[in-house]
Chains A and B, each alone.
Chain A
């Protein structure tokens, strides 16, 4: 009888191939690319400050491009060192931005020097704009933007105008790719923490 039960269980058990066919949504094991319309979104979803940009296999992003005021290149470059020091002094100083990576680039394609602030992060750009602005004010990142044309003169007292600057200068991407799509920085850190915890456990068992 026990043999019969075992056979019935085997019959009803899912076959391995079936499990593989049913990929989970946002499956991190399958690299994904996403082409994005010119507007930066697929369907218009209103956010508090404008259209919401979609989450992509490369999470959320922020690519602000602005023209540098004449003679301000050194001031911007020097500020890279300030951010390096600030993070060294307090590694959590940029934590509210939920960043994976941050890249600052200066380039000139013939129409003058431009600055690009590119961030890859895990939170909806629209949802945490005020928190981002607060971090920018706290760390002095806003000081960098004061070297760009179009930066609002009343930025210290007019947060909505700062937010508007970022929205106006945001260049949405039209292709994003994730080798391990939709994985958040916290998930990466948790996975690594588990890996090291297992390593420690194995060491303790020697």
Chain B
């Protein structure tokens, strides 16, 4: 049974927030980091309470990099028990992820590729006004926590129209989220069975049927998750220009947009609505995921094999899908670019987290294989049209009778502006981190040796 009272809410339930602020922190001294954490701990959202619809201002989420755990005073022996990919951090794994060229960490913003990045605090808010209040309150709190510095920050806000969730290109979002066994969430039709909690939270059985070994000490790792953060700038002007170039009519442009994504911008999947948009289908969570590819669209005449949703969730055309699912969180930043307006040079995009129990098996697999492998589905020279690293040399094949259409030299619609790996501890783990002490690092290490607790 999931220990909802000990899980941060972040991957379980979304608070009713239309705005948020991400603050990326550095701890100059371990004691200052621990003091900051002690003071903010009672504001961290707990999974058990967030979905209860009671007025609750505790919508703060806190997560740490591996360097951050060290900066708080975790001893070296415990640090060594975390998986290699987390210890290295996202920037060091760029070649594996495929974040090369313009997406390479050397171009990232906000010191996210720096070893000085220690923590992220997410301040959720009902709206932008409330977010400003939260920012001010946190700034005031930091003023009494010398030694804790904000390396960079990002304001997030939903963009109009507000009647459905979407990103800057206009695609409906949050259509496919895994249901976790033990949370009471029932998967919608076509979404497969609920997924074992161990795929997302440490300390539980996963889809392999076993319970993977935990980083030590267990009080730190149990009920924790890993987060892969990506800040993806969306080039809305370039995207719209591409649609105009490829489609002679508004209908033709919408069809190209749908072929890139695998869904119409309304959310209606091409596999179920291959000829024309069906907004009612897109909005109907009982129908919008009720399809497969193997028997309903094996050749991609509806949904191209290389489209975004077919890569990110190949459904029945990939093996062990239950072991490759992830929970996505995040939102949009930057102002919406009005329809018809020229590109204004203002940064806008999505800043998203992927939550999982194994970065290498889940997130890195998705980036390495589904997103950036040109040979995915034997396509030969394609990458994900939105998340893949595009440099104008890759294609998109659109199966069509009698002859397929091949778009050569797909432009980059997005650029990775930053990323990091975080560990999202449970509530008890956060308390444990506040109890570390600089002088106890050695003695704690000795104690662990004596008890064998790091084995």
Contacts and interface: CB of A to CB of B under 8 A. Distances in A.
B277 interface: no
A157 B320 contact: no
A101 B217 CA distance: 45
Interface stretch (A29-37, A61-69, A78-86, A128-136): A128-136
B368 A127 contact: yes
Interface residues of B, number: 20
A158 B319 contact: no
Interface string B73-98: 00000000001010000000001100
Contacts of A130: 320, 323, 361, 365
B210 A48 contact: no
A156 interface: yes
Interface residues of chain B: helix, strand, loop or mixed (majority)? helix
Contacts of B364: 48
A141 interface: no
A59 to B, nearest CB: 11
B211 interface: yes
Interface string A30-52: 00000000000000011111000
A159 B320 contact: no
A134 B210 contact: no
Interface in B37-55: none
Nearest to A137: B208
B373 interface: yes
Interface string B346-385: 0000000000000011001100110001000010000000
20 contacts: A46-B95, A46-B96, A47-B96, A48-B96, A48-B360, A48-B365, A96-B319, A127-B373, A128-B369, A130-B323, A130-B365, A154-B213, A156-B210, A157-B212, A157-B213, A158-B213, A159-B208, A159-B361, A160-B83, A187-B378
A186 interface: yes
A16 B449 CA distance: 76
A134 B364 CA distance: 17
Contacts of B365: 48, 127, 130
A184 interface: yes
B212 A158 contact: yes
Contacts of B378: 184, 186-187
A159 B212 CA distance: 8
Given A157-B211, A184-B378, 6 more contacts: A49-B360, A95-B319, A127-B365, A134-B319, A156-B210, A186-B378
Interface centre among A46, A48, A124, A131 (most CB of B within 10 A): A48
B369 A127 contact: yes
